Structure 1
Amino acid sequence: MEMTFRWFGDQNDSVNLSDIRQIPNVKGIVWTLLNQPVGEAWPEEEIAREVSKIKENGFHPEVVESLNIHEDIKLGKPTRDDYIKKYIDTMEILSKHGVRVICYNFMPVFDWIRTDLERPLEDNSTAMHYEHKILDDMSPKDLIHNMKENTSFELPGWEKEKLDIIQDLFKAYESVTRESLWDNLQYFLEAVIPKAEELDIRLAIHPDDPPWSLFNLPRIISNERDINRLINLYPSTHNGFTFCTGSLGANRDNDLVEIAKKYVDHIFFAHIRNIRYLNDTDFVETSHRECDGNIPILSVLETLYRNDFKYYIRPDHGRQLWNEECRPGYGLYDRALGIMYMNGIIDHLDKEDKK
């Protein structure tokens, strides 16, 4: 497995590539063009510029996260073919510049959601927190109001250009069921996987986060059954998923070790994150150290290692430490600590193998 680190670009990240260079064993940068409109093809000159920066700092650019899916594709609108063509156009350019894995998601309207971005922890650090009742008590109308009136209520992963059309999006999804969303995902995969095979790019869908429906929107990548269905939707060595321990782990019924073992050949990217359960639905993010939360980090890493996981891994969300000003969950310090924790586990497994 190869260690990587997510970076949002010079204009959108408090962390510098030169800072990341000082973390031992980081080989690649997981990157994106954050300011590109969703659905439009990425300009090659901007791709080349970003890749050049990454390489100049001693990293490879082999993983992109996220090349987002336009809502018209998820909704199955007639315009989806044009957006799929643009998606493929971007894949072709990314392939020319060394990209080998694309992480994407198929979550309607939102990416991942938290209700508090800076919840204080016992050690005086802060972390992201999810309280189900807050969202469960909201209507889409309440959500729109909060997002327009309260700048602190900013959802991570939110594409701000959607704010003006969010009411229309909710309306459009009223007729979309889980089965029709599956149909629309299959349509997308049937169009892009043959090109992915040709380009030798692996597509790794990210699980729903949290892994259940919100605002009556369907979600379809939430458990082992969904993962199995995804893989069989378009059987291919280039159709797989991102194994996110925090997202899948929020569903208490998911056996993360079993999923890692059973589907290792279709895991092209792994996000290692720890969370602590507060009740049946609520959780707070913690350090990567296993005993600080409820995710079996040690067993997951050992399972990936023993089953010859050969793709990419990165620390996922971290706490905000030592007064660092950063994107919530994406500071330098705690993710660096997470890498060193994982490095220690991997070094131990290497040593055991050599006995």
Structure 2
Amino acid sequence: MFSNLEQTFRWYGPSDPVTLTAVRQTGATGVVNALHHIPSGEVWSKEEIEKRKNIIQSAGLTWSVVESVNIHESIKTASPDREKYAEKYIETIKNLSEAGIKTVCYNFMPVLDWTRTDIDFRLPNGASALRFHAAALAAFDLYILEREGAYKDFTPDQQQKAKTYLDSLTAEQRAQLITNIMAGLPGTKDVLTVDQFKEHLEKYKGIDADKLKQNLAWFLQAIIPDAEKLGIRMCIHPDDPPFPILGLPRVVSTESDLLDVVSASPSVSNGLTFCTGSLGARGDNDLPAMIGRLGKYIHFLHLRNVQRENDGSFYEADHLGGSTDMYAVMKAVLQEQKNRADSGRTDVAIPMRPDHGHKLLDDFNYNTFPGYSAIGRLKGLAELRGLEMGIKNALYQ
């Protein structure tokens, strides 16, 4: 019998209300963590890495995955100083490798790493979920950001629905919408102002999807040879949501995009973070089939579910509910594990984490990062653990 998936839990560091003691009590053995206090693009020193690693190990856990070593905007926009930031990136992954931390998640989303319009969407049972509401995003883009060229991105019907939605908001709700959209920087509670965001948009003028893909390929060709020598497994996270928003291109949203990534610098070190929530927000992504075709490149799994709505909206569903068939996904993952075991690969125990979770029960008493409550993710991990065991015992004993 081949190994189980490595169960991990994301932890935001010493200030996280979800403590390492709580993480250990979930049954997870691995921690997904990053040095969020170090600015994007700067080198993670050996001392800072060892300091964090020792904290995690002292709690009886392993620092299994880095999420994320963020990529400086200079690389995404192909600015003149991008080579300097690529060299710093290589120095960081070298220091991680020396500390024995070999799996590095990252993304290539411009400006904002994730976008939700509602971080307290109440479900019928009273639980709180994250939601992307298409009309709310359009209202922000058209009538608050007032982005040049925004009107051509929305149909007259979408424009009208956006205006109706905006008119329904109180001043407080309007301010909260701005905060929710501008707060998509993982690991921080920083919120961009609308004017700051407009300045970032200026840097992307003239950068379409093709150009952004070229910049991503440049980055991969710059770092993957060193990553391979270091034994580092780089794994890109898909776009969230997986389609263009606010005038910014998205280039890691479909199977074709993922193939472009791994083809840009072919290497065992150039792999994927397969996020079923991000990819599952598109109805045209067949997730089990994608795992079947791309499985050998998967170094990290984010398992969560979203409920898609007809207008492009979606919200975070139960891990075993929603629009994605999680049984079929887990079955495809276990088949990939079997393929690896049969071929002699050593990376059979793919690290996975229950990505996001509802706020449930006592979660409401803690100011956790959006989507990262303790009990909601514990519920998700327990469900996924049981699903894995059931399929494995049924098919592979």
With the length of structure 2 as denominator, give the TM-score of the two structures. 0.84
Residue 232 of structure 2 corresponds to 201
Residue 8 of structure 1 corresponds to 12
- C-alpha displacement of 1:165: 4.2
- C-alpha displacement of 1:306: 1.5
- C-alpha displacement of 1:168: 2.3
Aligned 8 A contact 2:134 2:311 in 1: no
The amino acid of 1:283's aligned partner reads F
After TM superposition, the structure 1 stretch with the greater mean CA deviation from structure 2, 300-309 or 264-273, is 300-309
Residue 315 of structure 1 corresponds to 354
After TM superposition, the structure 1 stretch with the greater mean CA deviation from structure 2, 270-279 or 133-142, is 133-142
After TM superposition, the structure 1 stretch with the greater mean CA deviation from structure 2, 342-351 or 87-96, is 342-351
Match of 1:154 among 144, 157, 180: 180
After TM superposition, the structure 1 stretch with the greater mean CA deviation from structure 2, 71-80 or 322-331, is 322-331
Match of 1:74 among 73, 76, 87: 76
The SS at the match of 1:91 is helix
The SS at the match of 2:271 is strand
- C-alpha displacement of 1:62: 2.5
Residue 109 of structure 1 corresponds to 111
Shift of the 141–174 alpha-carbon distance from structure 1 to 2, 3 Å rule, reads farther
Query: Whole-Å Cα distance in 2 between the matches of residues 193 and 79 of structure 1?
Result: 19
* Deviations, residues 99-127 of structure 1 (Å, cap 9, x unaligned): 11111010111111000000110101110
Shift of the 55–141 alpha-carbon distance from structure 1 to 2, 3 Å rule, reads farther
Alignment partner of 1:52 is 2:54: yes
- C-alpha displacement of 1:162: 5.8
* Deviations, residues 215-244 of structure 1 (Å, cap 9, x unaligned): 111110111111111111111111111100
- 5 Å-filtered alignment, 1:1-355, equals 1-11=5-15, 13-24=16-27, 26-139=28-141, 142-143=144-145, 150=175, 153-155=179-181, 156-158=183-185, 160=190, 163=193, 165-289=196-320, 292-308=321-337, 310=348, 311-324=350-363, 325=366, 326-353=368-395, 355=397
Aligned 8 A contact 1:104 1:206 in 2: yes
- C-alpha displacement of 1:295: 1.1
The SS at the match of 1:19 is helix
Aligned 8 A contact 1:101 1:202 in 2: yes
After TM superposition, the structure 1 stretch with the greater mean CA deviation from structure 2, 74-83 or 135-144, is 135-144
Query: Whole-Å Cα distance in 1 between the matches of residues 184 and 99 of structure 2?
Result: 25
Query: Whole-Å Cα distance in 2 between the matches of residues 154 and 61 of structure 1?
Result: 30
Residue 344 of structure 2 corresponds to none
Aligned 8 A contact 1:144 1:166 in 2: no
**Largest Rg, 1 or 2:** 2
Aligned 8 A contact 2:116 2:180 in 1: no
The SS at the match of 1:154 is helix
Query: Whole-Å Cα distance in 2 between the matches of residues 250 and 225 of structure 1?
Result: 16
- C-alpha displacement of 1:37: 0.7
- C-alpha displacement of 1:14: 1.1
Shift of the 70–154 alpha-carbon distance from structure 1 to 2, 3 Å rule, reads same
* Deviations, residues 3-27 of structure 1 (Å, cap 9, x unaligned): 111000011x110001111122x12
Which consecutive residues of structure 2, in runs of 5 or more, have no partner in the other structure?
148-170, 341-347
After TM superposition, the structure 1 stretch with the greater mean CA deviation from structure 2, 249-258 or 275-284, is 275-284
Which consecutive residues of structure 1, in runs of 5 or more, have no partner in the other structure?
none
- C-alpha displacement of 1:161: 7.9
Aligned 8 A contact 1:61 1:98 in 2: no
Query: Whole-Å Cα distance in 2 between the matches of residues 98 and 27 of structure 1?
Result: 16
- C-alpha displacement of 1:139: 3.2
Query: Whole-Å Cα distance in 2 between the matches of residues 54 and 282 of structure 1?
Result: 37
- C-alpha displacement of 1:334: 1.2
Aligned 8 A contact 2:8 2:64 in 1: no
